Structure 1
Amino acid sequence: MLKFIRKHATSFIIKALFAIIIIVFIFWGVGSFREKDKVVAEVGPHKIYYTEYIETYKRFLNMYKMIYKDNLDENLLNSLKIKEKVMDDLIDRYIILIIGKKMGIHVSEREMNEHITSMNAFKRNGKFDRKLYEEVLKRHNLDPKKFKEGERTSIITTKLINILIDNAVFLTEEDLWNTYKNERGQIDLFYTVIDPVDFTGKVSISEKELEDIYEKDKAMLKGENTYKLKYIILDEKTKMKDDDVYLALIKTKDFEGFAKKNGLNIVELNGIKESEFIKRFNNLNIKESLKGLKKGEISLPVRLDNKSYIFKILDIEEGRPMDKSLAIKQIRERLIQKKAKEYAKSIADEKISKKEFNPAKNTGFIMRNAKAIPKIGQIPPEHLSLLSLSQKDPIYKKPVEVEGKFYIFSYKDEKLPDKKEWERDKELYKRIITSKKGEEFIKSFLDEMKKKEKIKINWQDI
């Protein structure tokens, strides 16, 4: 259960961000910023002022400080793109106002007064105290009229969000059970492998194709790059989270010092060719992970099963221009591999559409929320839904490419979660899933509404 909550932690962060929208309304209101401030953005008829942007930025910053604590430095701030997030949320705020007005959502004076008099900040001995109310507003330099505007807007925002969630999210008992099953259940899959290598002799390449590609790409045709790098391996024994280690390395910029301090072994590779490097780590998507890294830079954690790898580039020696005959040879090999791959995929597509495949092998039972299949490899993120196959829907409709081979998956068997655990966890799952789906809908809805409003951002004034 704790794993499920951790997995959906971003859902709670999103809620915190929505809370920021409401908090800013409460303390500042809409349009309550000084007219002499710079206008940093316009959303329909509304203007966003510099003061409003800065105050919202401070609140976001404080929230991220609570999340990342001492790890929050300039590099992490830049990677989090807080400036853009703040602007997006400010725009969302005014989009919500525009939608609320169009939908006729309003707050009566009676509702407004009841709301303010019920706020604990203005109560003394359990009752609303007007003198305390005036003192609190004065202490925060808030005009009573502006404060009411802000409160009114926060109520409209809450009403609109609740209306959207209530009308967008309807979960049946079956929906909840399927979600739980996909988190806690296990599945055994049949699979068929179609390897492009088996089709390399069935494709043809013309000399014209080779010459055309050579002329187009000859400036980029070079020998392999040679790398000098170091890396550390994190596993269950290190008892350190790879994300925390990565953030610490970005902050300290001392790869060796950090490793020594925390008892981590450093492996150094000197003068290793790119192909050899990829071959050595053939189970990792290493080429993509190191793509674009420059001398002195550190990679994001590269995960496989229970291990994580973090690399540091010490030096890169660029490959030299390639001899034409060698270049043509490589182009030919590349084209053969490409066409064989296309041919293999077409064969896989045809077998799936006609249901003409022989599932002689099976995966054995694996968790339905797994990210990899033993002896096969990592499941591409866009194909994780293959683990949701069932007796009613037994064949995955697309071939799945893993490490250059195509796999056709179909349902064999499953193990359902324990029913007693399900009854115990059901209500918590319902709250989490309802919240998550509601937030996904709201984000999608706001993104669509943004396209219909004129939005102008003056980044140069921020």
Structure 2
Amino acid sequence: MLELMRKHARNWIMKLLLGIIIVVFVFYFGSLRGREQADTIFILDGKAVYLADFYREYEKLIDLFRNRLGIPLTEEQLKSLNLKQQAFDSLIKEAIILKIAQESGLEVAAEEIQDAITSNPAFLRNGVFDRRLYEETLRLNKMSPEIYEKATQKFLLAKKIEDLVYEGTPVSDSELMDLYRMQKEKINIQFLHLSFRDYLDNVEIKGEKLELYFKEHKSEFTLPEQYRVKYLFFAADDYEPKGEVNLSKEERYKKAMQLALQAAKMAHDTIYQQENFDAYAKEKGFKIYESPFFSAKALPDYFSHLNNFTKEVLTLKEREISRVLADERGYYLFQLAVKKPARIPEFSEVQKDVEKRVREREAQSLCKKEAEILLDRLKKGENIVKIAQEKKIKIEETGFFLPGKEVPHLGILGPEREVLYTLSQNKPYPNEAIPVADGYVIVRFKERGTIDLQEFENSKKDLRKIFQELKAAEALTFFIDGMKERLLKEGRLKIKKTVNDL
């Protein structure tokens, strides 16, 4: 249970939003007739769920997130939210919940269905059920009252299962205190920091080892696409208006930029039509600048400040010209001169990089081994001050902080940070050293901060509701997953498509 609390103590709002408490969308249960067997996603006890059901559920999840977040969702955001998988899992869970309800003999009375409909805020006008609004809403969703009432019955059946699980997951005061501590209690950690760089000189590397490493990791040394560009620069200073002495400095700059832009646009249009970049520059007396080869991830400083440089220039074909780009100094017209494809280099080309990689990896291994030895000595009772003096390592402290991804003086930690929740006076050391950006740290619990007991008492009601929902969701998910495995094993649940097929 502590693991459950650690997992959700700091992000329960997002977990609820993402659907840790199962949401049954009533309109999902509407009738979808006339579909072909080829569209079947899964079959449970002879009843099929179809592709149209999936996309209906998927669209509802998208709408839910759009409404909650208040912003449109891009394709990348949709992928990161994994909504297709959520929609797929939701359909299976809903079908299993209904099956459980039916097999448990649970029923929904006609009065319950009527109460659910007449109290639904979507059908209320001025706080009173409005039949015309009800019928209009159903019509817009292409659903008859009979179908909606049947769907509501199924929804209420599923809700009864959820309520039974919720009522069967009590939360003790000690669990609430543990949850509150994880949210509010700060800790202070001592640590010894071992950097892998201190072990680099201890690494011995033979040439055969380097070549073997390169052979096994060639793709990691792939040289990216390389580009060389030519460009014309229309500097505002070269178009400074002459003879207009009454203009202010700002007005002269603005006028010069306008003239430079006109020249750049004329050059662009002419070169675009005649494909004569070099000839045009020679005719007009413009200097052609040429860059050395560079990659998209290592732009020359004099290009990196230009807006959309990568998009506008590096996506060109060889000898194509870009649109006119600008900075505060003037305007640029680029031609992509040469584009070299990405390639795997010969060992001789990257030997130094390979040696650096292997040396650092070996040093990391030595660093980890040393950290584990020191941690073992500390766990056996040796004094941390004595060991620090022996190894000439400074004992550092994080200061009081709330455990999270980022720890003061240690930076952003990986999943290993969870161990910080478990440390105490009785167990001051973790089982393993914790990896950090440049090596390993051995952490030691020092002290906990105080918590506000009055605030805890005032927040117990809300904490209990949150934690009970988390426990119920965990229990329901565990039960449904077990039921799913049993149904699959018995052949009652047959999955015809996976998310990758949708």
1:69 is aligned to 70
Identity %: 21
2:14 is aligned to 10
The 5 A counterparts of 1:320-331 are 321-323=346-348, 326=352, 329-330=355-356
Aligned AA (2:370): A
Aligned AA (2:26): I
1:409 is aligned to 443
Instruction: Spell out, residue by residue over 1:83-117, the C-alpha distance to the aligned partner (whole angstroms, 9 max, x if none).
Output: 33322211221122233345x14205xx3434425
Confirm or deny that 1:180 pairs with 2:192: no
Q: Matched residues in 2 for 1:343 and 1:327: separation?
A: 24
Residues 180 and 347 (structure 1), Cα distance of their counterparts in 2 relative to 1, 3 Å cut: same
SS of residue matched to 2:435:
strand
Aligned AA (1:193): H
Count of paired positions: 375
SS of residue matched to 1:333:
helix
The 5 A counterparts of 1:306-317 are none
The 5 A counterparts of 1:37-436 are 39-45=39-45, 46-102=47-103, 104-107=104-107, 111-117=109-115, 119-120=118-119, 142=143, 146-167=147-168, 169-200=169-200, 204-205=204-205, 208-217=208-217, 221=221, 321-323=346-348, 326=352, 329-330=355-356, 332-348=358-374, 350-351=376-377, 354-356=380-382, 358=384, 361-436=395-470
Residues 365 and 272 (structure 1), Cα distance of their counterparts in 2 relative to 1, 3 Å cut: farther
CA deviation after TM superposition for structure 1 residue 140, in Å: 6.4
Aligned AA (1:457): K
| Matched-pair contact (CA < 8 Å) for 1:348–1:399 | no
Q: Matched residues in 1 for 2:469 and 2:32: separation?
A: 33
CA deviation after TM superposition for structure 1 residue 459, in Å: 6.5
The two structures have a TM-score, normalised by structure 1, of 0.65
1:23 is aligned to 26
Instruction: Spell out, residue by residue over 1:9-39, the C-alpha distance to the aligned partner (whole angstroms, 9 max, x if none).
Output: 21331459733x24235xx35xx32143563
Q: Matched residues in 1 for 2:356 and 2:199: separation?
A: 18
Instruction: Spell out, residue by residue over 1:418-459, the C-alpha distance to the aligned partner (whole angstroms, 9 max, x if none).
Output: 222222222112212222333344334434444442322276
Compare 371-380 and 200-209 and name the one that shifted more.
200-209
Q: Matched residues in 1 for 2:449 and 2:63: separation?
A: 45
Q: Matched residues in 1 for 2:354 and 2:66: separation?
A: 55
Q: Matched residues in 2 for 1:207 and 1:130: separation?
A: 83
1:301 is aligned to none
2:328 is aligned to none
Residues 403 and 331 (structure 1), Cα distance of their counterparts in 2 relative to 1, 3 Å cut: closer
1:36 is aligned to 35
Instruction: Spell out, residue by residue over 1:328-358, the C-alpha distance to the aligned partner (whole angstroms, 9 max, x if none).
Output: 6446524532432442354255346535461
Instruction: Spell out, residue by residue over 1:153-205, the C-alpha distance to the aligned partner (whole angstroms, 9 max, x if none).
Output: 212211222233343x4422122112212211221112223333444555555
Compare 112-121 and 55-64 and name the one that shifted more.
112-121
Q: Matched residues in 1 for 2:133 and 2:368: separation?
A: 74
Unaligned runs of 5+ in 1: 229-269, 278-294, 298-314
Q: Matched residues in 2 for 1:328 and 1:133: separation?
A: 70
CA deviation after TM superposition for structure 1 residue 296, in Å: 5.0
Q: Matched residues in 1 for 2:20 and 2:211: separation?
A: 58
Aligned AA (2:180): Y
| Matched-pair contact (CA < 8 Å) for 2:186–2:401 | yes
Unaligned runs of 5+ in 2: 1-7, 229-292, 301-309, 313-338, 389-394, 489-493
CA deviation after TM superposition for structure 1 residue 52, in Å: 2.7
Q: Matched residues in 2 for 1:136 and 1:274: separation?
A: 53
| Matched-pair contact (CA < 8 Å) for 1:221–1:321 | no
Aligned AA (1:173): D
The two structures have a TM-score, normalised by structure 2, of 0.60
Aligned AA (1:9): I
CA deviation after TM superposition for structure 1 residue 81, in Å: 4.0
Compare 113-122 and 421-430 and name the one that shifted more.
113-122
Residues 180 and 61 (structure 1), Cα distance of their counterparts in 2 relative to 1, 3 Å cut: same
| Matched-pair contact (CA < 8 Å) for 2:10–2:183 | no
| Matched-pair contact (CA < 8 Å) for 2:378–2:384 | no
| Matched-pair contact (CA < 8 Å) for 1:210–1:331 | no
Q: Matched residues in 1 for 2:297 and 2:125: separation?
A: 71
